[in-house]
């Protein structure tokens, strides 16, 4: 899994940064990509990236402020012209259906793929045999949600010594065992996956939060996560401003990551007052004073999970 930041600015785009959008690439897991928020200009950011809209499977919207959704109608329309024919599902708060359908209807835009829209108010919003996605309400001026993406445990690696016991050699049967299928040998012996596989590999957990003040729901959403993506709109010297506008400081993001027992913290959603990398450095240092394993989200940078 990989994170790719298409936009990291808060409120409006700046000359240095675009507004919020984050891609989660799942190429090895399901050969697809998920998108979290879609601010204005996101499709332009795609053109500068290695990402392909045809691989886009799901879009998760944290809340309905413009810097998180104004790029959505254009991206949905462009996907149809860039080889996107597979179904696409949008998850978001109540109102996202009206916004998308009205935008496409009034602009007479047509999509040639199946478009599904799921409105939710938290809880388990998606589950299949590979992933579970849970959402919970945060604290912002309008309903804003965080998402916890949980990869289910994966089968363990094949143990060569256990294969040797059954006289198995590398070949197609390996893949069947790895997928959890039992196989029958030429002598009629049944070999089950548990007979040749090591311990299951724990799945990864990624938490991506929408705009929020510090709020209790952040910790259970982030508990034990390998990576937390948390807004850091302001330095803590502007904590009163952050509170007034329902945002968080870099220090508050770090405190949440520490309390949640997370592995890594990635800061994003920076105020335009912090113009470039030099001006962002104090936010990083502030967070690292509490949670050392912190980094800044930089646009068009691929981060391995």
Q: Which two tokens stand for residue 275?
A: 């113009």
Question: Is 37 annotated as belonging to a binding site?
Answer: no
For residues 266-305, one letter each, b for 16 or more C-beta atoms within 10 angstroms of the residue's C-beta and e for the rest, the string is bbbbbbeebeeeeebeebbebbbebbeebebbebeeebeb
CB atoms within 10 A of CB 170: 9
- CA angle 16/208/179 to nearest 5° reads 120
Check if 187 is active-site: no
Question: What does the alpha-carbon distance between residue 290 and residue 305 come to, in Å, rounded to a whole number?
Answer: 22
Q: Which residues contact 227 (CB under 8 A, 6 or more apart)?
A: 3, 204, 205, 206, 207, 262, 263, 264, 265, 266, 303, 305
CA diameter of the chain: 74
Residue 94 Ramachandran class (φ > 0 left, ψ -120 to 50 alpha, else beta): beta
Q: Is 68 annotated as a binding residue?
A: yes
Q: Which of 37, 67, 128, 159 is catalytic?
A: 67
DSSP, res 32 = E
Residue position matching structure tokens 């104090």: 282
* d(C-alpha 82, C-alpha 153), whole Å: 34
Give whole-number Cα distances, 271 to 10, 228, 241, 248, 279, in Å. 5, 19, 11, 11, 10
Label residue 16 exposed, middle or buried (CB < 10 Å: 0-12, 13-18, 19+). Answer: middle
Say whether 195 counts as a known binding-site residue.
no
Check the annotation: does 44 bind a ligand.
no
DSSP conformational letter for 286: H
279 known ligand binder: no
192 labeled binding residue: no
67 is in an annotated binding site: yes
Q: Which residues are annotated as a binding site for Zn(2+)?
A: 63, 65, 67-68, 140, 211, 269
Residues marked active site are found at 67
């Amino acid at each position: 899994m990989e994170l790719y930041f298409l936009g990291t600015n808060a409120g409006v785009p700046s000359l240095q940064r675009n507004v919020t959008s984050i891609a989660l690439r799942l190429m090895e897991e399901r050969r697809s990509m998920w998108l979290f928020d879609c601010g204005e200009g996101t499709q332009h950011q795609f053109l500068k990236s290695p990402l392909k809209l045809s691989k886009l499977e799901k879009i998760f919207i944290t809340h309905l402020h413009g810097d998180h959704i104004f790029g959505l109608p254009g991206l949905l329309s462009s996907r149809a012209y860039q080889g996107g024919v597979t179904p696409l599902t949008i998850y978001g708060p109540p109102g996202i259906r009206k916004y998308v359908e009205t935008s496409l209807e009034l602009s007479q835009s047509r999509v040639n793929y199946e478009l599904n829209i799921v409105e939710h108010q938290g809880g388990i919003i998606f589950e299949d045999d590979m992933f579970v996605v849970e959402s919970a309400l945060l604290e912002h001026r309008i309903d804003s949600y965080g998402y916890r993406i949980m990869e289910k445990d994966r089968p363990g690696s094949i143990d060569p010594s256990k294969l040797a016991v059954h006289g198995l050699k590398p070949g197609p049967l390996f893949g069947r065992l790895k997928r959890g299928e039992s196989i029958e040998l030429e002598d009629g012996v049944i070999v089950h996956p548990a007979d040749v596989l090591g311990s299951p590999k724990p799945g990864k957990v990624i938490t991506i939060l929408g705009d929020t003040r510090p709020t209790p729901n952040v910790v259970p959403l982030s508990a034990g996560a390998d990576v937390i993506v948390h807004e850091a709109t302001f330095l803590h010297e502007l904590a009163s401003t952050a509170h007034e506008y329902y945002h968080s400081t870099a220090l508050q993001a770090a405190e949440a990551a520490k309390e949640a027992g997370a592995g890594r913290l990635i800061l994003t959603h920076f105020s335009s007052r912090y113009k470039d990398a030099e001006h962002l450095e104090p936010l990083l240092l502030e967070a690292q004073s509490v949670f050392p394993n912190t980094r800044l989200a930089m646009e068009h940078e691929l981060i391995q999970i």
